[in-house]
Every structure is written in C-alpha cells, then in structure tokens.
C-alpha cells in the first residue's frame, strides 16, 4: 500500500485503434455538424428565438458538471486522505480535464460566431458570470494539469496534497459558477434562485461518481485491473449519499420556488401541467435519475458490480433528462412581462409554452463532444502512466493475473 506504481494502459493495439477510429468518426461528425450550423446559420437547428439554448448546451453543461464531479475520487484521496482511493486519483483528474475540454468545445462550436473565440478570450466583461466562467474553466484545466503532474512525478509528489486541495476548492467554485449562469437570470422564473448553485454541485458529485465508475469498469475489462471490494462498497455508499443529497436539493429548489410567489405558476407548470416537461421531470429526473438508482443500490439482490453499473447508467440517463428539464423547460415557460395581465396575441410567441425539437446537427455536435472526452482519456491513459499497477492489493505484485469481477 505504501508504494503505488502507475502504468500505461496496456491494450491490444487492434482494440485501441478500432476504438480510436470509432471515436474519431464521431468527433468528425460533430465537427461537420457544427461547421454546417455555422455555415448555414442556426435556423437549421431546433433552436430559435424562443428556445435560445438547446441540445448543445445540455451536452456542454452536463459534460462540465461531470468534469467537476469526476474529480471526486482524487479529492477524496488527497483532501480527505483516504488511502483507498490514492491509486485511482490520477485517472480521475485526467477524466476531469477531458470532460472539461469536451464541454467547452461544444459550447464554443455552438456559438453564433465560433471564429470570434479570440474575442471571447481577450475582451472580458467582469460583471458577467459567463466571463468569470471562462477564467474558471481555463484555470481549472491548468490546475488539473499541475495536479496530475504532482501525482505522477515522484519528485514533486509532496505538493500533491496541496494541489489536490486547491483543485477541490476550484471545482466547487467552478460548479457554483456553472450553476450561477442560470441562477443569476432574474428574468426567468425557472432560474432566478441561488439554490441552483448547490444543486449543481450535488449533481456534479453524483454524475461524476457514476461516470468514474463506468469508465473504470470499461478499463478494467481490457486492462485486467482488479477493483477491490472496499472501493466498490465505498463507491456504492457514496452514490447513495449523493442520490439522497440530490433529492434533497431538488426538493429544496422546488419548495423555494413555490415560496417565491412570482414563481408559483412556473412550479405548477413543471410539476403538473407542463406536458413533456412535467413528464420528463417526474419520470426522467426523479424516477429514473434518483429513485430507481436508490432502490437498486440499496437492495441486496444484485451483485455490487451489477448494481453499480445499472445505477450509474440510470443516473447518467437521468442526468441528461435533468439538464433537459432545467435548460429547455426553464426556457419553454413564457416570460412574465405583464404580471397583472394575460397576453392574448403576440407574433413573437410571448404567450405560448415553447416546444423544442432538436435537429440531427445539434445531436451530432453533442455526441461528438462526448466522443472527444473519451478519446482524450483514451489517448491519455495509453500514453501516460495513469493507471495503477494494482489497486489496494497489498500482497501481490502481479496485477495482471487478477480477475475483473469481484
């Protein structure tokens, strides 16, 4: 346990390249889609003047939230000094960096003028939370890179705890910033509450853990890494805690909204009369994303691996729907321009609940982004020593003999 050695991802080149090419194709499709959107203009997408942020933003925000969340494992190991997770920490930081880059890539490629990225990087409006997020995101990437360095290089290893703590602080602020992108929008009833920030943080904890587990599981299929039982049990416990935290903050968010008199109508909309949005909220965000995973993880009928795999899948499915409800649902509900009047007629859809039908291009861009995150991880683990030669297995120096399942 005292000495952890790391290794590259040793994998059959055939499998590596087939995966690489497969992901590459998705990335090319993503770029193609974004290029087409830029060339033609956004009318080819499902987004319009009513739903101004669509599927790309769901993907982007989700990836950024996950990026902050997958750092959990590293944070637990360095900030809270859990020896158990030490071998797993570098991979967690790598995943964070790749999901962050992917999320940002989607966000940038969906801009009306992606060619003006340089403007976004050079002119800042410091009143804007968006501006701060540009700093938070790029800074996070730098902090993560430094953190990975301190973890992998023995000479600077003593700074690892400090960097880990620093990265931990940074990610909390980062997710707060992401939540605040919505939280600061006073105009929209769905958003203008500070509770969105902690809600985003607990979401990031939950989704990040789920992603980390799934990635570890996939890697262990090829790499013959043994995931010890105590790590699994711990992940399971963590997931359950995060699920309950999610449920709690989600409830708190809606109860708060109900107490804000002006937001009452929106709550009725989301919770009971919003059609597809209500359906997504209850069945997607709540049942698939939270309740079912809790049941699966708490019951003893499944093996630990199976339970975690199913639960993680459900959590990620739920996370996507949750983003849909927050981002699209929040915009779909019409603005209250006249609190004491009803709008009868408008040429600009002021009085209708907007519908959103995403186009194939937005979907392509989003999937391309996910592929980008995975390919960066793949390249990272194949070329640098991110994976532990053994995970918490004190009496064996032959990790390759271990079986995958516990």
Provide the binding-site residues for other proteins, judged by CB under 8 A: 38, 40-43, 48-50, 52-53, 111-117, 119-120, 123-125, 127-131, 134, 181, 184-188, 262, 331, 335-350
Tokens at 86, concatenated:
């030490």
CB of 354 to other proteins, least distance (A): 9
Q: 404 with 226: CB under 8 angstroms?
A: yes
* Residue nearer to other proteins on the CB measure, 111 or 214: 111
* Residue nearer to other proteins on the CB measure, 339 or 394: 339
* Residue nearer to other proteins on the CB measure, 158 or 357: 357
Question: How far does Cα 337 stand from its chain's mean position?
Answer: 33
Beta strands in 69-147 (DSSP E): none
* Residue nearer to other proteins on the CB measure, 53 or 170: 53
Tokens at 36, concatenated:
């087409």
Write 261-270 long-range contacts (CB < 8 A, 24+): 262/189, 262/336, 262/339, 263/189, 263/192, 263/193, 265/189, 265/336, 266/189, 266/190, 266/333, 269/333, 269/353, 270/190, 270/325, 270/329, 270/333
- Cβ neighbours around 20 below 10 Å, total: 16
* Residue nearer to other proteins on the CB measure, 55 or 70: 55
CB of 335 to other proteins, least distance (A): 6
Question: How far does Cα 84 stand from its chain's mean position?
Answer: 24
In the chain the first and final C-alpha atoms are separated, in Å, by: 19
User: For the chain, how many residues are written?
Assistant: 406
What DSSP element (H or E) covers 6? strand 6-7
The sign of the CA dihedral 4, 226, 83, 94 is: positive
* Residue nearer to other proteins on the CB measure, 137 or 242: 137
CB of 321 to other proteins, least distance (A): 21
* Residue nearer to other proteins on the CB measure, 50 or 304: 50
CB of 167 to other proteins, least distance (A): 24
CB of 329 to other proteins, least distance (A): 13
Q: 188 with 331: CB under 8 angstroms?
A: yes
* Residue nearer to other proteins on the CB measure, 115 or 299: 115
CB of 348 to other proteins, least distance (A): 5
CB of 195 to other proteins, least distance (A): 18
Q: Could you give the CA distance from residue 227 to residue 393 in angstroms, rounded to a whole number?
A: 9
* Residue nearer to other proteins on the CB measure, 57 or 171: 57
- Residue 7: beta bridge partners? 387
Q: Could you give the CA distance from residue 389 to residue 170 in angstroms, rounded to a whole number?
A: 29
CB of 31 to other proteins, least distance (A): 17
CB of 369 to other proteins, least distance (A): 16
Residue whose C-alpha is closest to residue 74's, from 397, 405, 402, 388: 388
């Amino acid at each position: 346990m005292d000495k952890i050695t790391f290794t590259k991802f040793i994998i059959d080149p055939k499998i590596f390249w087939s995966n690489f090419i497969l992901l590459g194709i998705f990335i090319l499709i993503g770029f193609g889609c974004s290029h087409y959107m830029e060339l033609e203009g956004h009318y080819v997408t499902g987004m319009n003047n009513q739903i101004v942020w669509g599927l790309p933003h769901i993907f982007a925000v989700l990836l950024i939230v996950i990026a902050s969340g997958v750092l959990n494992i590293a944070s637990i190991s360095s900030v809270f000094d859990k020896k158990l997770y030490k071998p797993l920490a570098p991979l967690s930081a790598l995943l964070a960096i790749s999901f962050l880059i992917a999320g940002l890539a989607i966000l940038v490629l969906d801009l009306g003028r992606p060619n003006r990225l340089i403007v976004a990087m050079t002119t800042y409006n410091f009143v804007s939370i968006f501006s701060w997020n540009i700093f938070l995101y790029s800074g996070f990437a730098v902090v993560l890179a430094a953190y990975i360095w301190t973890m992998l290089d023995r000479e600077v290893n003593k700074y690892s705890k400090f960097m880990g703590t620093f990265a931990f602080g940074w990610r909390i602020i980062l997710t707060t910033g992401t939540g605040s992108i919505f939280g600061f929008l006073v105009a929209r009833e769905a958003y203008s509450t500070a509770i969105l920030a902690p809600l985003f943080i607990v979401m990031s904890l939950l989704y990040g853990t789920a992603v980390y587990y799934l990635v570890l599981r996939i890697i262990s299929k090829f790499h013959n890494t043994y995931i010890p039982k105590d790590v699994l049990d711990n992940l399971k416990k963590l997931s359950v805690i995060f699920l309950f935290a999610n449920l709690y903050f989600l409830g708190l968010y809606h109860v708060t909204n109900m107490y804000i008199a002006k937001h009452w109508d929106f709550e009725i909309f989301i919770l009971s009369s919003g059609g597809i949005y209500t359906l997504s909220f209850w069945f997607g965000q709540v049942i698939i994303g939270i309740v079912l995973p809790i049941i699966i993880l708490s019951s003893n009928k499944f093996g630990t691996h199976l339970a975690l795999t199913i639960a993680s899948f459900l959590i990620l499915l739920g996370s996507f729907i949750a983003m849909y409800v927050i981002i699209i649902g929040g915009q779909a509900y019409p603005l209250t321009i006249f609190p004491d009047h009803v709008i009868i007629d408008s040429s600009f859809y002021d009085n209708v609940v907007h519908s959103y039908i995403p186009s194939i291009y937005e979907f392509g861009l989003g999937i391309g982004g996910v592929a980008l995150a995975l390919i960066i991880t793949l390249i990272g683990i194949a070329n640098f020593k991110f994976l532990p030669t053994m995970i918490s297995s004190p009496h064996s120096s032959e990790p390759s003999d271990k079986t995958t399942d516990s």
